[in-house]
Amino acid sequence: MSGTGAGRAGATGRDPAHTGREPALAGRVAVVTGAARGVGELLARKLSARGARLALVGLEAEELERVEGQLYGEAAHWFADVTDAAAMARVAAEVGERFGRVDVVVANAGVALGGPFGESDPAAWARVIEVNLIGSAVTSRAFLPALVESRGYLLQIASLAALTPAPLMTAYCASKSGVEAYAHCLRAEVGHKGVGVGVGYLSWTDTDMVRGADEDTTLRDMRARLPWPANKTYPLGPSVDRLVAGIERRSAHVYAPRWLRGMQAVRSSLPTVLGPFARREMRRMEPKLSGRTRGLVGAGGAADEAARGAGAGRRGAGAGAGESGGA
């Protein structure tokens, strides 16, 4: 763990909505996993601009330190693997000691893998499930006692991938469908204790993960041929603004962009509707896909693979298991 107390004055990236009036989340403590970049980074900035104190969790220590230094108020960061129950229990205890309470937890950490299931790297496929689904549950388990004490709020980040099937995304769709179902179940379990649980649905958003997937021209071409508006890449700022508003309202569902709400009404028919499109596109794309093994996409995926490799090396030299990296 590392922390510097109040953020540096005049730091970059300030939210224009920060006005001098009493912020909506003043004094609340928010934990954000996957806070080194993308959705997690901007969400931390916007929550900080609304008066929250931030605990940042991720695997890129230098990036977390950079984000911490650009926040408005009190913040600290922790290097941890969200799939490591012992490490996350330690983080939860240290966050409680540092800030005295936890009011909001955003389970945002995630990785992605693209390509045909039959030719995918089994370890990379399993890692997507491990980080996105199991890591989310480990995060919630670690912080649930603090949320019960504060009658707080957990926001689980899901995806359009939870609502509709997509070829070449078996691991990601399975993981996001899983966290959606898990979060709905958890809401039913802890609501009587005053804990709110929300699910945030994002479409293709301009992050390192999506840009990394788009580096594969075959995957980018197939996504471009999806029906509108699912083929668009949406700017990060408005999507995160909707997540912040959902946190402030303790919403059960947050849709960014707004049209994703309509997908709920038709989701049961989507596998049938998309079937002919998928068969046609896979027949067309299959020669370009054959024989290509892919790893985790984007800078976050690279960081996950590097951290796990470094952790394995340290364990081989006698280091403890708690030193493995995460997302």
Q: Length of the chain, please? A: 327
The single residue listed with the structure tokens 């951290």 is 307
The single residue listed with the structure tokens 């954000």 is 32
Is the distance from CB of 143 to CB of 252 less than 8 angstroms? no
Q: Which residues contact 176 (CB under 8 A, 6 or more apart)?
A: 132, 158, 159, 161, 162
Buried b (16+ CB within 10 A) or exposed e, 295-327: bbbbbbbbbbbebbeebeeeeeeeeeeebbbbb
Q: Which residues contact 153 (CB under 8 A, 6 or more apart)?
A: 103, 104, 105, 147, 195, 196, 197, 198, 247, 250
Residue of 72, 153, 172, 255 with catalytic role: 172
DSSP classification of residue 15: -
Could you confirm whether 234 is annotated as catalytic? no
Annotated active-site positions, please? Answer: 172
